[in-house]
Structure 1
């Protein structure tokens, strides 16, 4: 009898050990980023950030003993390729969650797949339609573009600027921003006096800007991601236009200043995440320490400062690891944990998700900044 009890004890201990090892295991995190192509300024820092965080976490023993593996593919910013690679991540690589894609168009293309396959997606793109209406398996970390639009319009109201010339790119991000600005402008008593567009690959917008110059608006709002906004900034300078120029959060990195040139970009204003100006924030701001630590770690690893766009992947990583700690490692457990995030201090802001809000950020996610002498300045 004693021998039988001893054998059973050994078997139970072995079973528990095996179960614990299985429970720990490895969780695969998929990454879909535009590492090359026109949107590389988004995808490259996102990829590097995710790789850096996975390495740092594994070096510390993982998440509750769970090791992480990043399986990352370069979409090149192409929506069709993004769907193909998302399919590969889910069916071949067996990832538990996907971070990305980098752009709104890619994200919208991938949504039907992840909803069907029941794998959580945390997009790194800003278009409001990604999470509005809320879909069970889809989240995103950049603040909704209507939040950025409202931040701009609130600043314009303080400056008593009432008439607006719009110049937006004809892609998913631009179309969404255009729609949000027009809706909010009508609600807030602004008047759209010009509504111009440009293509993602256009290399000169002088014709649209010449037309805008003749209309004499109080302000110009450009909505797009580089290189277009940088070209527009140069064109504004070349045409001698003195009208205040606002950009979207889609250019909130030093790459924009580099592409446009410090002289042309002087005085341009835009809503930006706090990462760009963390050293100007009050020391008691709850995000300051994390922002500083991220910037320093990124500089140490890659010899350049961290960008707001890499921060989107950082946010997604914190949401995933928070879910792993709280709920477990299966896809549905991760999804539930992301949706339960409450007052999560991150790079882009403080996230509070809910079944009806899969973005979880408010106006406080942005600060209005102005470019002064080739650098960011906080607009008071």
Structure 2
């Protein structure tokens, strides 16, 4: 009888504990992702990751007694639409924080809205201008593009590749990367011998590559997000170019290899987040355990491997959760302060240490150099 009473009491306690878990109210998280359109390879895993994390957190009782609610809109990669939806999230949906947008151009367009309305924005795009100069209400989770550029140039220096040909896309991400590479190249003693560009919707870059072939650089650096880089990779193969080809972190997902074709992509080198090669990281690596758990959870939820891009939303969620735990509040001002105070926060993209002077909080350790080998990523040591 006593045992039965104890079981009933435990059940009642569980019910009341579950109810009490959400006694502190609801935290509304806005999401702006390019779920459809050319940048869907970024936005789709970001959306799925945020939804997965919110669901999991609620099943465990929320965060600091708060239930979580994700209000997510598809921007289709359009900056004008992103601004309209950001306004809707703030004015109509009353969110306390926004995760996204997926691209640099969208993020730059949305920043004035976040700053004016005093709502923290955690961008999932890499352009350095998103957070430099520092803006009070704006943060981002991908490492700055100058970090990726420096990682490439340091690797090239080891291989005595000093004459560089650039081939960059004419959008926000490409323009920022081009600017950072040229500045760093000048500082580090490299020479940019060709500076070619292509449009986001261009479907053939053989003209630019033919010009580059005539100049005979030591290597080509392509900066963009798919499908352009995949097209360029195919064009390099078609032209029979033997010049080493480097890509930016903007293509650090298996989608790039799939679009370019494993044969054409063979040997391409790029900086990538550790998620791409987590299975060969030493167990002592601070991120190894979390990366393994994220990939396993994503595979269980969606039947596909987790991507670096989905990881940007994962990082944003962790920054928000960490801020809630620090401040015990869902108020935008408190969340902003908590995000800025993140220190040594282990996540997918790296170990974040934010400050009033740094709203990205990542350094060179956020990337590993990888090479496409037999249709997969190989860690370059």
Q: Into which bin does the TM-score normalised by the smaller protein fall?
A: over 0.9
When normalised by structure 1's length, the TM-score is 0.94
> What's the counterpart of residue 354 of structure 2?
353
Specify whether residues 22 and 313 from structure 1 end up closer, same or farther in structure 2 by C-alpha distance, changes over 3 A only. Answer: closer
Match of 1:285 in 2: 285
Alignment of 1:224-303 (within 5 A): 224-303=224-303
Q: Helix, strand or coil for the counterpart of 2:233?
A: helix
Q: Are positions 1:165 and 2:165 aligned together?
A: yes
Residues 133-166 of structure 1, C-alpha deviations (whole Å, 9 max, x = no match) = 0000000000000000000000000000000000
Gaps of at least 5 residues in structure 1 are 1-19
Deviation at 1:23, TM superposition (A): 6.4
8 A Cα contact 2:21 2:62, kept in partner: no
Mapping of residues 105-116 of structure 1, within 5 Å: 105-116=105-116
| Correspondence 1:206 to 2:206 | yes
Secondary structure of residue in 2 paired with 1:24: coil
Partner of 2:102: 102
> What is the DSSP-based 3-state SS (H/G/I as helix, E as strand, rest coil) of the residue aligned with 2:147?
helix
Structure-2 separation of matches of 1:23 and 1:150: 48
Three-state SS of the structure 1 residue aligned to 2:241 is coil
- How many angstroms apart in 2 are the aligned matches of 1:268 and 1:134? 34
Output the TM-score relative to the length of structure 2: 0.94
Separation of aligned partners in 1, 2:102 and 2:368: 22
- Tell me what 1:342 maps to: 343
**In the alignment, what sits opposite 1:4?**
none
Query: For residues 114 and 156 of structure 1, what CA distance do their matches in structure 2 show?
Result: 39
| Offset of residue 64 of structure 1 | 1.4
Q: 1:152 to 1:22 in 2, by over 3 A?
A: closer
Q: CA deviation at 1:44?
A: 0.1
**CA deviations over 1:251-310 (Å, ceiling 9, x no partner):** 000000000000000000000000000011111101000000000000011111000000
Instruction: Name 1:366's counterpart in structure 2.
Output: 367
Matched residue of 1:210: which SS? helix
Change (3 A) 1:312 1:82: same
Q: Distance in 2 between matches of 1:341 and 1:211?
A: 47
Q: Displacement of 1:200 after TM fit? A: 0.2
Distance 1:350 1:314 in 2: 13
Question: What secondary structure is seen at the aligned counterpart in 1 of 2:319?
Answer: helix
- Deviation digits for residues 161-217 of structure 1 (CA, Å, limit 9, x no counterpart): 000000000000000000000000000000000000000000000000000011110
Query: How far, CA to CA, are the matches of 1:58 and 1:23 in structure 2?
Result: 13
Change in CA separation of 1:73 and 1:256 when aligned onto 2, cut-off 3 Å: same
For 2:22 and 2:357, the matched residues in 1 are separated by 34
Measured after TM superposition, the shift of residue 119 of structure 1 is 0.2
Distance 1:128 1:342 in 2: 20
Unpaired runs of 5+ residues, structure 2, are 1-19
Tell whether the 8 Å contact from 2:22 to 2:62 is kept in structure 1 after alignment. Answer: no
Structure 1 segments of 4 or more deviating over 4 A? 20-23
Supply the distance in 2 between the matched residues of 1:214 and 1:296 (Cα, whole angstroms).
47
TM-superposed deviation, 1:65 = 1.2
1:356-378 Cα shifts (integer Å, max 9, x gaps): 10000000000000000000001
C-alpha distance in structure 2 between counterparts of 1:251 and 1:77, whole Å? 16
Aligned position for 1:150: 150
Aligned pair count? 361
> Distance in 1 between the 2:175 and 2:155 partners?
22
**CA distance in 1: counterparts of 2:216 and 2:86, whole angstroms:** 46
CA deviation profile, 1:340-363 (whole Å, cap 9, x unmatched): 000000000000000010000000
Cα 1:21/1:280, change in 2 over 3 Å: closer
